[in-house]
Every structure is written in structure tokens, then in C-alpha cells.
Amino acid sequence: MKGLVIDDVGLKLTAKDNVATALDDLDAGRSIDAEGVDIELLEDVPFGHKFSLEALAEGDKVYKYGEVIAQTTQPVEPGAWVHTHNAESTRGRGDLSEVGQ
């Protein structure tokens, strides 16, 4: 498996990433030692889903695989579950286009 395993429960794929992938179904309140920094999970994070390793402002880029996978739609605290409720794609937005209307 590529990447850095964080406290046995998270996978940070590259050093540039600001989210980690849960390697198990993780419960809210769990404390995680993320490379020397203590993070407390604010919500349940299911297996394969992502949690934030940093505080992010609205519109910040989300990095996984060392690449931009999304931008945030609201401020995100460290330990927050990062998914469609607080992050979105920047691509294929035909709904914002006038061509198909």
C-alpha cells in the first residue's frame, strides 16, 4: 500500500495531502496521532471515507494522491469528515453553463 499509515487507522497517500482515508469504520471522538499532532474525529468516518488533517477555509483545495480532488464549500475543522456535504468538484459543471439551458 502506497502512502503513510496514520495511527493504524488512516492512510495519507502523499505528503502533500490534507485529508486521510479511514482504514476502518471510525467513531466520532476517537483521538488520532497524526504525525505528532493529536486530532479528534468530530464525526463517524466510515471505511474508505476521508477526514481532514488540517483546518480548511471555505474554497480551499482538498488534496489526495497529491492532487486536487475538490474544493471546500464551508470551513472544515481538523478531524471533520470530508465528503459531498462540505466539498465539491470543480469539473463537469454543466448546471452552471448556459449552453444546455
Partner 1 sequence: MTPTFNGYRRANGRVGVRNYVAVIPTSVAASSIVRGASEIGAWAKPTPHQMGTSQPPAAREQTERVLVGTGQNPNVGAALVVELGTEESDAGELADQIAETGKAVETLSIRDAGGTRLAVKRAKEILKDLNEEVSLARREEADASELIFAAECGGSDATSGIASNPTVGNASDRLVEDGGTASFSETPEFIGAEHILAERCVDDELREHLLERVAQREEMADMMGVDLRGAQPTPGNQEGGLTTIEEKSLGAIAKGGTTPVEGMVEYAERLPTGGGLVLMDTPGYDVESVVGKVAGGAQVVAFTTGRGSTTGNPIAPVIKVAGNPKTWEKMSNNMDVNASTVFDGDSVEEVGGRLYDTLLSVADGQHTEAEKRGLEEFAVNEVQPKQIAGSGVGR
Q: Of the candidates 42, 49, 54, 60, which one interacts with partner 1 according to CB under 8 A?
A: 49
50 Cβ neighbours under 8 A, 6+ residues apart: 19, 20, 21, 22, 64, 81, 82, 83
Name which of 13 and 53 has its Cβ closer to partner 1.
13
68 binds partner 1 (CB under 8 A): yes
Please state, in angstroms and rounded to a whole number, the distance separating the CA atoms of residues 61 and 44: 22
Name which of 38 and 89 has its Cβ closer to partner 1.
89
Q: In what order do the strands lie in the sheet with 67-72?
A: 61-64, 67-72, 87-88
Footprint on this chain of partner 1 (rule: CB under 8 A): 1-3, 11, 13, 21-23, 46-50, 62, 64-65, 67-70, 82-84, 87-97, 99-101
